[in-house]
Structure 1
């Protein structure tokens, strides 16, 4: 990594306000040095010029929150300098930064209208100021072009960010789709009945993860999980126990249930269960452990565990997580009932 790359990375890591103040400081240093030059032929370094300079810098502080008004203020200050008689290349710098911000934080339509307005205003100012220039016809054309440069640069940067974000989102969706398909194939292969699947995901609530649970995944973990916790979770699944914490199971499955209506054939799927097994299944979906189910139904934890196992066998559920999914899908349990 080069020195420039390291400096750029540090600048991007700055808080927004600190970054804005840094931009103001750099623009102020460059523009102020140009403003302070005292060429005999121009009015400069007087009270009006410094006032316009101060207004431009103050406006740049809020360029992220009010990009278009800031572009108008800095553009008016730049035009004021030119009409007043102070000619300096770096006096365009505040409005250049403002126009870049308009494009990089906006959309293509706003950038287009801003570019048209800025080019027309700049050309009119050039016509007024350039009446005494040797070739006044060429000056307005040149002055109409320079405001478009920062707008085009900002548009290019914004488009690149959008494309990268879209690419990342598509890659993540494709990865999730592959994971879900892998879980479905493993669950559907009878020769892999002893294989248990743990999903790793970026989000706590994700439709692809829920679909994977439906197809037999034992549970899911967030990708930022600590290594020790991941090893413990794998051991838990390998021992045949449920991976998801009961409270977490209930929360994420209820979210899934809100997105998916109960199956019309839910009653038929539950017909193989006894009344007691349905009660046990509902309590599993409520997030209760075997001990809590035993207390609720006045039975021993071992009896509760037996009922849970029999219910899973009759419904073809591989574990408690999939049993919870089935409870919501069939309409046995609805969000908010427990």
Structure 2
């Protein structure tokens, strides 16, 4: 089962509640120290000053969960200090911390709206309060600019966090894709091995069963024929073991690399297949013509297995006396045809198809080809496969 890709969040160094407490404590230290300083010519620290201080620091405890509300409260407290006549270099720290949270925990549109509002409000307060300690002519402009600093910083941090989340999401999707591809390859390999084992076992066991029956029937009257049939049973068994060893070797790993890479059957081995089938008593004619052209190995393997499976079905189900195999190359497609003069196979219970026909169609489809199977108008059964020999098949 494929797990849904998990997109990890970019964690904060501290839990939000604890981070708010730490920020509030740090801001309280610096802002409180500045609020306690009395500037000559301006209002001295009193109860109103400390009340606004308490409101600002208390609001910062909710900075993560309610950043906009905290920015309004701290901004109002900062404006109250200015309008009340108590000034200080660090009295704007609470509202700056709140504005930073607005940008980090919001989006760009909210940051822009907040920046415009905060700049206009700060400029208006500076004009009303008459702040002119450093630069009387430019004081309103400077007061309009400072709220933008924490907003820009927060926007940069938020953009970086979004980028990290996107990278994490891409990594998760890539991992999920790799996992799906690995499972797909395993499934394809499992089906391939299942087809190979089925073709080898079904064909060989069917042929050996018929040959053993012939040997048993001829044991007393024609012992030489019985011995010939049993020799053919032994040869078929050895051939089946060889092919099974080559197929199963794929599952074993590097230690059995020689078996895993043993050559798979090709069209050149059709005569051996035909001899084994003829040993069952079936009269078989073969016509193979590839025009001396190179046929891709996978196409040859698929054609061989289709012929093998079709002949296995003839032996098992058709009760035929004669069968014909034709493998010809026409243009860019290899035509494989197997016909017999037996009766059509009975439909399995429930209308299901056997694995042999399914395997033939899967082999052809994997190469971009097709397989047709059905009764002939003149009697018997016909299997026809068309396999491409160029493009993807190569």
> The TM-score by the shorter chain falls in which range?
0.5 to 0.7
Distance in structure 1 (CA, Å) of the matches to 2:134 and 2:20: 40
Aligned CA RMSD, in angstroms, stands at 3.1
Paired residue for 2:108?
108
- Contact kept? 1:60, 1:94, Cα under 8 Å: yes
Paired residue for 1:37?
37
Paired residue for 2:157?
157
Say if 1:139 and 1:132 are closer, same or farther in 2 by CA, change over 3 A. Answer: closer
- Contact kept? 1:186, 1:195, Cα under 8 Å: no
- Contact kept? 2:131, 2:139, Cα under 8 Å: no
Gaps of 5+ in 1: 1-10, 197-271, 279-310, 317-338
Within the alignment, does 1:128 sit opposite 2:128 as a pair?
yes
CA deviation after TM superposition for structure 1 residue 136, in Å: 3.1
When Rg is computed on C-alpha atoms for both structures, the one with the higher figure is 2
CA deviation after TM superposition for structure 1 residue 127, in Å: 1.5
Distance in structure 1 (CA, Å) of the matches to 2:117 and 2:348: 73
Query: Between Structure 1 and Structure 2, which shows a larger proportion of helix residues?
Result: 1
- Contact kept? 2:132, 2:139, Cα under 8 Å: no
SS of the residue 1:91 aligns to: coil
Runs of 4+ aligned residues of structure 1 deviating over 6 Å after TM superposition are 311-316
SS of the residue 1:106 aligns to: coil
Paired residue for 2:148?
148
Say if 1:195 and 1:61 are closer, same or farther in 2 by CA, change over 3 A. Answer: farther
CA deviation after TM superposition for structure 1 residue 40, in Å: 2.9
CA deviation after TM superposition for structure 1 residue 33, in Å: 0.5
Distance in structure 1 (CA, Å) of the matches to 2:59 and 2:348: 71
Paired residue for 2:92?
92
Paired residue for 2:182?
182
Paired residue for 1:71?
71
**1:170-249 mapped onto 2 (5 Å cutoff):** 170-189=170-189, 190=192, 195=251
- Contact kept? 1:34, 1:88, Cα under 8 Å: yes
Paired residue for 1:298?
none
CA deviation after TM superposition for structure 1 residue 168, in Å: 1.0
Distance in structure 2 (CA, Å) of the matches to 1:312 and 1:12: 57
Q: With the length of structure 2 as denominator, give the TM-score of the two structures.
A: 0.46
CA deviation after TM superposition for structure 1 residue 131, in Å: 6.7
Distance in structure 2 (CA, Å) of the matches to 1:183 and 1:96: 52
Distance in structure 1 (CA, Å) of the matches to 2:358 and 2:29: 74
Distance in structure 2 (CA, Å) of the matches to 1:274 and 1:112: 72
Q: With the length of structure 1 as denominator, give the TM-score of the two structures.
A: 0.53
Distance in structure 2 (CA, Å) of the matches to 1:119 and 1:141: 9
Say if 1:315 and 1:171 are closer, same or farther in 2 by CA, change over 3 A. Answer: farther
Query: Between Structure 1 and Structure 2, which shows a larger proportion of strand residues?
Result: 2
